[in-house]
């Protein structure tokens, strides 16, 4: 049988013995070069590596987030400093989705501040919110317009990158107007009174109702104290175990807490001899939500794991694609009509 002649000799054929003395990384590089030479000789397209699939999937994640941002009309200027990931579409999208209140029926629990004596028109607005939450209605039009318009993780103004109250203490606030949202309106009329609440999957905690004009309204220590004293068992998960007190003789004032939060500084809170950290994990030095940033990191990490699995020849989708005659598949993440993410092979032609 005639010897196989390549356009250039395989490196391993001339350095087989010497490679034992080379570092593993060098040997891997040479094996990869031999691998590429073999594919080039026969005219085979190179299969996607795990790194290439990962890079493609990460780009797809950003493209999907960009389309979602546009679909929901979110402010996304991308004027923040280029380093730090503030201009990443995924960060903006996740900040929105984690603040958005899903339309799920929930049980309402009230704090020790209730019942409250409120003006009649405010009572109307409060009862409307109660009805919507109990029956799984949409309360998002009663949120701050910052949900879509004024807060932007990619903006240059640090204090406008997210809702500081929500990012720090995990509290939403809803407007309580007399009139309901009209069809076609994105937001309700604004109100002089706000409901402060904490939302979980099945429960809503009504903390207090306050006038919009109160000083340092969104950093008032009283909000957290009310939550902790009304639901001590729930607050226990945020208590710093083993910490007997803060070194500071007097607690931060509401104004000091606002200034620290605006500057990207997290603070602990001492209530009745116990010390608590931020229920929503606080804010970053870039004044974005720590929880949102961690969720984005987790999405990227899971995407990499999927890409690594996708590069395996024995992966089910790889097998199916090869069986259909596709020699060099190109995979991408795609949004399905159900709203879920799926993996799509771009080069195959549907039969």
CB 134 within 8 A of CB 106: yes
4 has a pLDDT exceeding 70: no
Question: Is residue 201 in some structural domain?
Answer: yes
Phi, psi of 207, rounded to the nearest 5 degrees: -95, -50
| Span of 97-106, 109-118, 160-169, 315-324 with lowest mean pLDDT | 315-324
Q: What is the pLDDT of residue 49?
A: 77
More confident residue, 311 or 293: 293
| Span of 18-32, 108-122, 209-223 with lowest mean pLDDT | 18-32
Residue 30, helix vs strand vs coil: helix
Residue 236, helix vs strand vs coil: helix
Neighbours of 255 (CB within 10 A): 11
In the predicted model, what is the mean pLDDT of residues 273-292?
A: 96
- Confidence grade of residue 30 (pLDDT, cut at 50, 70, 90): low
Structure-token match 């606080």, residue found: 282
Residue 297, helix vs strand vs coil: helix
- Confidence grade of residue 47 (pLDDT, cut at 50, 70, 90): low
**Two tokens, residue 325:** 């005659």
45 has a pLDDT exceeding 70: no
In angstroms, the Cα distances linking 61 to 58, 153, 161, 310, 335 are 5, 17, 21, 16, 10
Q: What is the pLDDT of residue 25?
A: 56
Neighbours of 96 (CB within 10 A): 22
Question: Is residue 332 in some structural domain?
Answer: no
pLDDT digits (tens, 9 = 90+) for 146-203: 999 999 999 999 999 999 999 999 999 999 999 999 998 999 999 999 999 999 999 9
In the predicted model, what is the mean pLDDT of residues 207-232?
A: 97
Question: Is residue 34 in some structural domain?
Answer: no
Question: Is residue 108 in some structural domain?
Answer: yes
Q: Measuring CA to CA, which residue among 221, 291, 285 is closest to residue 258?
A: 221
**Two tokens, residue 270:** 């001492």
Structural domain containing residue 66: 55-297
- Confidence grade of residue 247 (pLDDT, cut at 50, 70, 90): confident
311 has a pLDDT exceeding 60: yes
What stretches of 118-201 adopt beta strand conformation (E)? Answer: 172-175, 193-199
Question: Is residue 322 in some structural domain?
Answer: no
CB 192 within 8 A of CB 213: yes
The percent of residues above 90 in pLDDT, for the chain, comes to 68
What does the mean pLDDT of the chain come to? 87
What distance, in Å, lies between the first and last C-alpha atoms of the chain?
Answer: 41
Q: What is the pLDDT of residue 23?
A: 55
Q: What is the Cα gyration radius of the chain?
A: 28
320 has a pLDDT exceeding 80: yes
Question: Is residue 315 in some structural domain?
Answer: no
pLDDT digits (tens, 9 = 90+) for 50-90: 888 899 999 999 999 999 999 999 999 999 998 889 999 99
Question: Is residue 228 in some structural domain?
Answer: yes
Which segments of the chain does DSSP mark as H helices, in order?
A: 11-14, 24-42, 50-71, 89-99, 120-134, 164-169, 221-230, 232-235, 254-262, 290-310, 316-323
Q: What is the pLDDT of residue 291?
A: 97
221 has a pLDDT exceeding 80: yes
Question: Is residue 303 in some structural domain?
Answer: no
- Confidence grade of residue 350 (pLDDT, cut at 50, 70, 90): low
How many domains is the chain built from? Answer: 1
More confident residue, 258 or 347: 258
Distance of CA 216 to the CA centre of its chain: 27
């Amino acid at each position: 049988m005639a010897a196989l002649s390549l356009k250039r000799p395989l490196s391993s054929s001339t350095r087989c013995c010497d490679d034992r003395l080379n570092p593993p990384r060098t040997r891997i590089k040479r094996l990869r070069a031999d691998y590429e030479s073999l594919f080039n000789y026969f005219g085979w397209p190179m299969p996607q590596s795990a790194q290439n699939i990962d890079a493609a999937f990460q780009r797809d994640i950003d493209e999907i987030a960009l389309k979602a941002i546009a679909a929901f009309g979110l402010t996304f200027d991308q004027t923040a400093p280029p380093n730090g990931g503030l201009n990443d579409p995924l960060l903006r999208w996740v900040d929105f989705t984690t603040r958005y209140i899903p339309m799920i029926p929930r049980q309402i629990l009230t704090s020790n501040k209730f019942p409250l004596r409120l003006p009649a028109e405010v009572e109307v607005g409060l009862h409307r919110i109660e009805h919507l939450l109990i029956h799984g209605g949409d309360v998002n039009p009663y949120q701050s317009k910052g949900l879509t318009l004024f807060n932007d993780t990619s903006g240059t103004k640090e204090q406008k990158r997210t809702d500081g109250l929500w990012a720090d203490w995990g509290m939403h606030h809803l407007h309580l107007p007399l009139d309901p949202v009209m069809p076609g309106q994105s937001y309700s009329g604004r109100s002089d009174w706000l409901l402060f609440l904490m939302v979980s999957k099945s429960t809503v905690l009504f903390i207090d109702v306050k006038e919009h004009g109160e000083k340092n309204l969104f950093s008032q220590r009283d909000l957290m104290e009310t939550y902790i004293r009304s639901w001590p068992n729930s607050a226990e998960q945020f208590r710093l175990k083993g910490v007997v007190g803060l070194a500071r003789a007097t607690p931060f004032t509401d104004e000091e807490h606002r200034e620290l939060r605006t500057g990207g500084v997290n603070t602990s809170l001492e209530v009745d001899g116990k010390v608590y950290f931020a229920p929503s994990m606080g804010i970053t030095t870039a004044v974005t939500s720590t929880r949102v940033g961690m969720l984005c990191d987790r999405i990227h990490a899971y995407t990499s794991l999927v890409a690594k699995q996708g590069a395996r020849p024995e992966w089910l989708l790889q097998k199916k694609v090869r069986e259909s005659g596709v020699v060099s598949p190109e995979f991408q993440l795609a949004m399905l009509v159900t709203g879920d993410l799926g993996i799509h092979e771009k080069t195959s032609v549907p039969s």
